[in-house]
Chain A
Amino acid sequence: MALDAKIPGGSLAEKWTQYKSKIPLVNPANKRSLEIIVVGSGLAGASAAASLAEMGYKVKVFCFQDSPRRAHSIAAQGGINAAKNYQNDGDSVYRLFYDTIKGGDYRAREANVYRMAEVSTNIIDQCVAQGVPFAREYGGLLSNRSFGGTQVQRTFYAAGQTGQQLLLGAYSALERQIGYGNVTMLSRHEMLDIVKIEGKARGIIARNLVTGELERHFGHAVLLCTGGYGNVFYLSTNAMGSNVTAAWKAHKRGAFFGNPCYTQIHPTCIPVSGDHQSKLTLMSESLRNDGRIWVPGKQNDTRKAIDIPEEERDYYLERRYPAFGNLVPRDVASRAAKERCDAGYGVGSSKMAVYLDYADAIDRYGKQEATKLGEQASEARIRELGKEVVKAKYGNLFDMYKQITGENPYEEPMRIYPAVHYTMGGLWVDYNLMTTVPGLYALGEANFSDHGANRLGASALMQGLADGYFVIPYTIGAYLSTEIRTKAIPTTHEAFEEAENNVRNTLNQMLNIKGTKPVDHFHKALGRIMWDECGMSRNEAGLKQAISDIRAIKTEFWSNVRIPGTSDELNPELEKAGRVADFIELGELMCIDALNRNESCGGHFREEYQTEEGEALRDDENFAFVSAWEYLGAMGFELHKEELIYENIKIAQRSYK
C-alpha cells in the first residue's frame, strides 16, 4: 500500500488557506444526522468535540478518567507557543515553522508544521475569549517567555499550570455542549476496540469501568485523541493512567504506526529516589530561562553544591552550546546530562543528577528590585528580594520540588535528571489527520505528525489545540461529505458482535491466568528494558537483545500474571493489565523501529551514528522518511515509507553552538 499524505498543492504559505476554502462542506441538516465518536478528552479531544458539536454534529466523548477535566494535558506546566510576535522580537509564522522543523531534526512533514504555525495565533485568541487567565504585564497585555530551541519569546503561559488553564478552557466549551445536549459524555469508559465495517471505522467497543459492562457505540467517524505512550517506560512524567491501548487497538485494526521509536526524554525532572518510584515529575522547561545547569568540574566530587567555588563548576551547556546555552532543545540537553553523569560528574546520592541552580537569578532579580525600590540593599536583602521575584514566577514549581524531595530549592540548587516525557511517534495520519483506516482520525500526541524526531517545548499544547479547534473541524468535511447517505448502523451488526467478543475473550483470558506475579511486575520489567536499551541512547546489539527480552516478558505475562477480582466490577488491576499487555507489544515495535533507523536524529540517538563531538549524526540520503509500520499479526510488522520532501527549508546539520 502506497502512503498518500494528501498534501495540497500550492505554495507553502497558501496551501492551508486554499485547501480550506475548497474542502467540501456538510449542510446543517445533514450534520445533525452524522455521529462522531471522540476518544480522549484532553486538549485535542475536548477542543475537537466542542468545536464539532458547535458546528452541529452529534458527538459522543469517552474518557477513562472520572471527569474530562482530568486528562493528562492538565499537567503541562510551561506554556504554549504562538507566532504572535507581541514582543516585537522578529517572530513570524515562518520562523515558528522553521524552528519546529529544525527542532524536530528535519524529520517532520513541512505542510503540517506550517499549518500548525499558521493557526497558532488563532489558538491564543480563542483561549483568551474563553477566559483562559494567561499571565499579563502591568499594561494589561499578554506576557511571554522563552523556551528551548528558539531565540524569540513566543511562549504564552499561566504560571506553572498552562495545561490546566487551557484544558479548563476547552473543557468548559465541551461542558457547554454537553449541557446543550449536543455532546454525550461517557466518563470512566475505556475504548477497547475499533469496529470496522467494509474497511471503514464505524464505531468502538468501550468498557464501562464502574460496572465492567461492554458497550457498543456507532459513529460515522472515530477520532482518537488519546495522548502518547511514554508509560511504556514504566517511569515517565505521564499520568499513571496514560496508555497506548486505543491507538494500539487501532493499529491492530489496520492503522499504521508512525515513527514509534521517537521518544522525548525531558532534561529537567526530579531524579528517581528509590525502587518504590511510581512516576517521575517534571520541572518545567521554563526554569531553564533563569536557572543555570552545572556539575562539579571534578569527578566524584562529594562536597555540597554551595561549597564548590564558581571556578570549579562546569556549566556544560553554556560551555558546549554558547549560542543557545541553557536553552538548547530537550534532546540535546538530556544527552549532555547523561554524558556528564556517565563520565562520573553526577551529583546526589545516586550520582545520576545534575544541578539546576537559581542562585544567579535570585541575585540578578534582587539587584533589579533593589534598584527599582531605590534601596542600598545588603546582600541578604538582595537575596530576599530576588527570592520574591523567583517565587512569583516559579513558586508552584519550587513548592512541588520541596514537597517531593524535602529540600529547599531557594537555598540549594535543585537536582535534576532526564526522564521520559512525550512521544513524537504515534498513529500515521495524512494532511487531514486521517489514519490509514478511512474514517479513523488521530489528533494531538496520539498522531505522529508535527514534531519530527524531537518536540520543542510548549509545542504540545499548540499542536493539540491546533488539531482540535482549527484543523479537524475543516478536514473532517472531506470525509463526512461523502457519508451523508450512510444511515446510523445498528450495533447489532456482526462487526460489533465480533469486536465485542474479541474484547470479552481477551479480558477473560487475562483473568483466567491466575498466575503469581502482579501486573506491575511486568510493567517494571518492560520499563527497565526500554529505558536501558531504547532510551536516551541505543545500539544494535542492545536493541536486538531488548526485542528478545520483550518477547520473553510477553510469554511470561500471558502465562503468569495475577489479576484479582472479576470483569464485572470496578477493577483497576484489570484495566492496568490490558494496558500493560499493549505496552509490551508496542515496546517490541519501538525497538524494531529504532533498530531499523540506522542514523541518529532528535530523540533517537544510535551510538553507532554520531559526530566526533558526540552530536547526533543524521543520514538524510537514506533516512529522510517517516517509518509507518503495518501490523501483520503473527507475521510481525511491515515497514512503509513516506518520503519527506523539503521544498522550503534547506536541510542542514542542526547546530545550537
Chain B
Amino acid sequence: MQLTIKVWRQKNNKSKGKFETHQLSNISPDMSFLEMIDVLNIQMIEAGQDPVAFDHDCREGICGTCSMYINGRPHGPHSGITTCLLHMRSFKDGETIVIEPWRSAAFPVLKDLVVDRSSFDRIVAAGGFISVNTGNAQDANSLPINKEDADASFAAAACIGCGACVAACPNGSAMLFTAAKITKLAKLPQGQPERYIRAKSMVQQMDKEGFGACSNHGACEVECPKEITLETIALMNRDYLTASLIENKEG
C-alpha cells in the first residue's frame, strides 16, 4: 500500500505544533497501525530526521497506553478497539491518514503524539479504592455476590484508562472514565461503605483537573474501546447527588 501520513509534530508542551506530511510505500495490509508508524520512524531516522514520539506499550489492547486521534476519531475508524489493534487492512491504498494527539486541556501534549494523562491517576487517588489494608481480608467465598452485579462491575472495570472518552468529548469531559471507576466499586458489596464519599471525592477531583462538563453528547460511549456505557454516568450522577443529600442532612 501507498499512504500519505499527516502527523502532528510538537517539540514539547511549551512550543506550538504543526502538521508534517510524509509518504509511505510498501505498507502491508497485515501490519498493525503502530507497525506502520514504526516503519515511518525508521524511514525518518535513516533520513536524519527526528522520529515521531508516540505512546504505546502492550500492543494488544489492554494497557491503555496508545492514544491517537486518527482521521478525526480516537483509536481510528473502528469501534471497540484500541489503536494498537487497528490494522492497515482497514485503510485504502493511496489514502491520506491524519494523526493527532488526544486534545484536551487536562491532557497537555508532552511531545508529538504523547500527552500527560496523570490527571486520571489523581482521580483514582482521590477515592477510587476500597480502604482495606493488606492482610485484613476474610475468606473470599464468605461474601457471595450475585452474578449479575459481579458481571456489571466487571463490565465497568474493563476500562483501560486510555482517555479516548475525553478525546472524543466536545467538552473534554472525563465523566465516562470516572463513572466506570465508580460503577465498578458501587456494584459490589465491598464497595458500599465508602460508596457516596467515593463518588463525591472523585467527581470533585475530576473537576479540579480541568475536565469539561457532560452535556450528554454520547461520543465517549461510541469511541470507548472497551464499550463502557453511559449507564455508568447515570449511576455516578445518582451517587454524587446522594452524597450531597447525605451531607446536607448531616450538616
Q: Interface of A with B (CB < 8 Å)? A: 47, 50-51, 54, 65-70, 72, 74-75, 84, 86, 122, 124-131, 133-142, 158-159, 161, 163-165, 168, 171-173, 175-176, 178-179, 185, 187, 210, 237, 239-241, 273-274, 276-279, 281-282, 399-400, 403-404, 406, 469-470, 473, 516, 518, 520, 562, 564-565, 569-573
With contacts A68-B121, A276-B28, A278-B35 taken as known, whether A131 is within 8 angstroms of B185 at the C-beta atoms is yes
Q: What is the bound-complex CA distance between A274 and B111, given in angstroms?
A: 30
Assess whether B129 is in contact with A172, with CB atoms less than 8 Å apart. yes
Assess whether B35 is in contact with A277, with CB atoms less than 8 Å apart. yes
Report B-chain residues with C-beta under 8 Å of the C-beta of A278: 32, 34-35, 38, 59
* B110 at the A interface (CB under 8 A): yes
Report A-chain residues with C-beta under 8 Å of the C-beta of B154: 133, 135, 158-159, 165
Report B-chain residues with C-beta under 8 Å of the C-beta of A406: 30, 87, 89
Cross-chain contact of B114 among A67, A74, A168, A570 (Cβ < 8 A): A570
With contacts A129-B136, A176-B131 taken as known, whether A70 is within 8 angstroms of B50 at the C-beta atoms is no
Report A-chain residues with C-beta under 8 Å of the C-beta of B175: none
With contacts A67-B117, A564-B50 taken as known, whether A51 is within 8 angstroms of B35 at the C-beta atoms is no
17 A-B pairs in the complex with CB atoms less than 8 angstroms apart = A66-B65, A67-B120, A67-B161, A75-B60, A75-B63, A84-B140, A130-B129, A133-B154, A140-B150, A173-B129, A175-B125, A274-B31, A281-B59, A281-B60, A406-B30, A470-B135, A516-B46
Cross-chain contact of B139 among A68, A125, A176, A565 (Cβ < 8 A): A125
| A238 closest partner in B (C-beta) | B58
Assess whether A570 is in contact with B111, with CB atoms less than 8 Å apart. yes
Measured CB to CB, the closest approach of chain B to A269, in angstroms, equals 11
Report A-chain residues with C-beta under 8 Å of the C-beta of B50: 564-565
Task: Bits for B177-206, please: 1 = Cβ < 8 Å to A, else 0.
Answer: 000000011001011000000000000000
Report A-chain residues with C-beta under 8 Å of the C-beta of B65: 65-66, 70
Assess whether B188 is in contact with A74, with CB atoms less than 8 Å apart. no
Q: What is the bound-complex CA distance between A179 and B140, given in angstroms?
A: 27
Interface core residue of A70, A163, A273 (most chain B CB under 10 Å) = A70
Q: Interface of B with A (CB < 8 Å)? A: 11-12, 28, 30-32, 34-35, 38-39, 42, 44-46, 48-51, 53, 55-65, 80-81, 85-87, 89, 110-111, 114, 116-118, 120-121, 124-141, 143-147, 150, 153-154, 157-158, 160-161, 184-185, 188, 190-191
19 additional A-B residue pairs with CB within 8 Å, beyond A161-B62, A276-B31: A51-B135, A65-B63, A66-B65, A75-B62, A125-B138, A131-B190, A131-B191, A133-B188, A136-B146, A165-B154, A175-B128, A185-B121, A240-B56, A240-B57, A273-B28, A276-B38, A277-B35, A564-B50, A569-B111
Q: What is the bound-complex CA distance between A470 and B85, given in angstroms?
A: 36
Report B-chain residues with C-beta under 8 Å of the C-beta of A139: 144
Report B-chain residues with C-beta under 8 Å of the C-beta of A279: 59-60
Assess whether B57 is in contact with A165, with CB atoms less than 8 Å apart. no
Assess whether B45 is in contact with A518, with CB atoms less than 8 Å apart. yes
Assess whether A473 is in contact with B121, with CB atoms less than 8 Å apart. no
Give the 5 A-B residue pairs with the shortest CB-CB distance, closest first: A140-B144, A179-B125, A129-B137, A125-B137, A172-B129
Q: What is the bound-complex CA distance between A482 and B45, given in angstroms?
A: 52
Assess whether B134 is in contact with A473, with CB atoms less than 8 Å apart. yes
Assess whether B63 is in contact with A50, with CB atoms less than 8 Å apart. no
Assess whether B63 is in contact with A72, with CB atoms less than 8 Å apart. yes
Report B-chain residues with C-beta under 8 Å of the C-beta of A47: 134
| A173 closest partner in B (C-beta) | B129
| A210 closest partner in B (C-beta) | B110
Assess whether B141 is in contact with A142, with CB atoms less than 8 Å apart. yes
Q: What is the bound-complex CA distance between A250 and B177, given in angstroms?
A: 38
Assess whether B121 is in contact with A51, with CB atoms less than 8 Å apart. no
Report B-chain residues with C-beta under 8 Å of the C-beta of A276: 28, 30-31, 35, 38-39
Q: What is the bound-complex CA distance between A185 and B110, given in angstroms?
A: 19
Q: What is the bound-complex CA distance between A281 and B144, given in angstroms?
A: 35
Measured CB to CB, the closest approach of chain B to A348, in angstroms, equals 12
Report A-chain residues with C-beta under 8 Å of the C-beta of B134: 47, 50-51, 54, 126, 173, 469-470, 473
Cross-chain contact of A65 among B32, B46, B57, B87 (Cβ < 8 A): B57
Assess whether B126 is in contact with A66, with CB atoms less than 8 Å apart. no
Report B-chain residues with C-beta under 8 Å of the C-beta of A241: 57
Report B-chain residues with C-beta under 8 Å of the C-beta of A473: 134
Assess whether A67 is in contact with B118, with CB atoms less than 8 Å apart. yes
Assess whether B58 is in contact with A66, with CB atoms less than 8 Å apart. no
Cross-chain contact of A128 among B34, B46, B127, B140 (Cβ < 8 A): B140
With contacts A161-B62, A570-B111 taken as known, whether A140 is within 8 angstroms of B135 at the C-beta atoms is no
Measured CB to CB, the closest approach of chain A to B133, in angstroms, equals 4
With contacts A67-B118, A141-B144, A274-B30 taken as known, whether A573 is within 8 angstroms of B62 at the C-beta atoms is no
Q: What is the bound-complex CA distance between A623 and B135, given in angstroms?
A: 39
Q: What is the bound-complex CA distance between A529 and B128, given in angstroms?
A: 46
| B146 closest partner in A (C-beta) | A140
| B156 closest partner in A (C-beta) | A133
Assess whether A572 is in contact with B118, with CB atoms less than 8 Å apart. no
| B158 closest partner in A (C-beta) | A161
Q: What is the bound-complex CA distance between A399 and B140, given in angstroms?
A: 31
Assess whether B38 is in contact with A520, with CB atoms less than 8 Å apart. yes
Assess whether B57 is in contact with A70, with CB atoms less than 8 Å apart. yes
Measured CB to CB, the closest approach of chain B to A500, in angstroms, equals 23
With contacts A168-B157, A273-B30 taken as known, whether A75 is within 8 angstroms of B58 at the C-beta atoms is yes
Report A-chain residues with C-beta under 8 Å of the C-beta of B126: 179
Assess whether B58 is in contact with A72, with CB atoms less than 8 Å apart. yes
Cross-chain contact of B51 among A131, A282, A573 (Cβ < 8 A): A573
| B114 closest partner in A (C-beta) | A570
Cross-chain contact of A564 among B49, B114, B140 (Cβ < 8 A): B49
Q: What is the bound-complex CA distance between A72 and B111, given in angstroms?
A: 23
Assess whether B147 is in contact with A129, with CB atoms less than 8 Å apart. no
Assess whether A404 is in contact with B85, with CB atoms less than 8 Å apart. yes
Report A-chain residues with C-beta under 8 Å of the C-beta of B59: 239-240, 278-279, 281
Assess whether B12 is in contact with A131, with CB atoms less than 8 Å apart. no
Measured CB to CB, the closest approach of chain A to B183, in angstroms, equals 11
Report B-chain residues with C-beta under 8 Å of the C-beta of A239: 57-59, 63
Assess whether B35 is in contact with A564, with CB atoms less than 8 Å apart. no
Cross-chain contact of B118 among A66, A171, A172, A173 (Cβ < 8 A): A66
Q: What is the bound-complex CA distance between A185 and B62, given in angstroms?
A: 22
Measured CB to CB, the closest approach of chain A to B213, in angstroms, equals 24
Q: What is the bound-complex CA distance between A133 and B44, given in angstroms?
A: 45
Assess whether A129 is in contact with B63, with CB atoms less than 8 Å apart. no
With contacts A67-B161, A239-B57 taken as known, whether A176 is within 8 angstroms of B45 at the C-beta atoms is no
Report B-chain residues with C-beta under 8 Å of the C-beta of A127: 140
Assess whether B114 is in contact with A164, with CB atoms less than 8 Å apart. no
